[in-house]
Structure 1
Amino acid sequence: MHISFAKRSAILEGLRERTRQATAEFYQKPGVQPPPLAPLIIVRPSGNNTFSLIHRATGVVVAERFGHNNATAHARELEGKAAQFNVKQFGKILSNWTLRISITLTVFAFFSIHM
């Protein structure tokens, strides 16, 4: 990469980081509410009153529904289910706590050996 491009890229990355910091500081002020998160499921028309429900992060078509009201209702239902506590989240929490307990026991064992 040319030196001028590298300098410009470094400057822009520094400005982006400062923008992220300023935004985070702004939303930490009292009385300022952050904007709502983007929806997980996008409803997109696919023709003949058929709507595809697309997972936003992966781009995978989750379902298809006839009628806009049915499609949006099903999208809200899927987003509600995604917000619930599931087995994957439980596994992450369990492994996190197992790691913490094992580190604590290791530290206690290390200090008990040296006493």
Structure 2
Amino acid sequence: MHQSIFQRRAILEGLRERARQATADFYQKPGVMPPPLAPLIVVKPSGNNTFALINRATGVVVAERFGHNNATSHARALEAKAKQFDVKQLGRALSIWALRIGAILTVFAFFGSHV
């Protein structure tokens, strides 16, 4: 590439980074609420009053529903269900805490044996 293109790209990347930093600083101010996160499930029409519910992160079709109202209500239900604390999250939290407590007890046992 030409040198001027490299310079222009470097300048634009610097401006993008400054914009990201300014946005982060703005939302750190008291009383400023960040915008809501993008929805987890996207409803897209697939024809003949049929709507596909697509997981935004993976692009996988989760379900199909007839009628826009049915599709959006099912998408809201799926998002609410995804936000709930499930058994996997509980198991992960318990295993992390068990590892932390085990590490602390190991440190105490190690220093207690040298006294």
Sort the TM-score into its range (normalised by shorter chain).
Answer: 0.7 to 0.9
The farther-off stretch of 33-42 and 90-99 is: 90-99
> Residues 1-115 of structure 1: matches in 2 within 5 Å?
17-115=17-115
CA RMSD of aligned residues (A): 2.5
The superposition leaves residues 51-75 of structure 1 with CA deviations (integer Å, 9 ceiling, x where unpaired) of 0000110111010000001100100
**CA distance, structure 1, for counterparts of residue 6 and residue 108 of structure 2:** 49
Deviation at 1:99, TM superposition (A): 1.4
Q: How many Å separate the matches in 2 of 1:29 and 1:78?
A: 33
AA aligned opposite 2:101: I
Point out 4+ residue stretches in structure 1 off by more than 3 angstroms.
Answer: 3-22
Is the partner of 2:109 in helix, strand or coil? helix
- TM-score when normalising by structure 2: 0.83
Task: For structure 2, list consecutive stretches of 5 or more residues without a partner in the other structure.
Answer: none
In structure 2, do the counterparts of structure 1 residues 111 and 22 end up closer, same or farther at CA, with 3 Å as the change threshold?
A: farther
Structure 1 unaligned blocks of 5 or more: none
Query: Which amino acid in 1 is paired with 2:76?
Result: R
CA-CA distance at 1:22 after TM superposition = 3.2
Separation in 2, partners of 1:84, 1:98: 22
**Percent of matched pairs sharing the same residue:** 75
In the alignment, residue 78 of structure 1 is paired with which amino acid? L
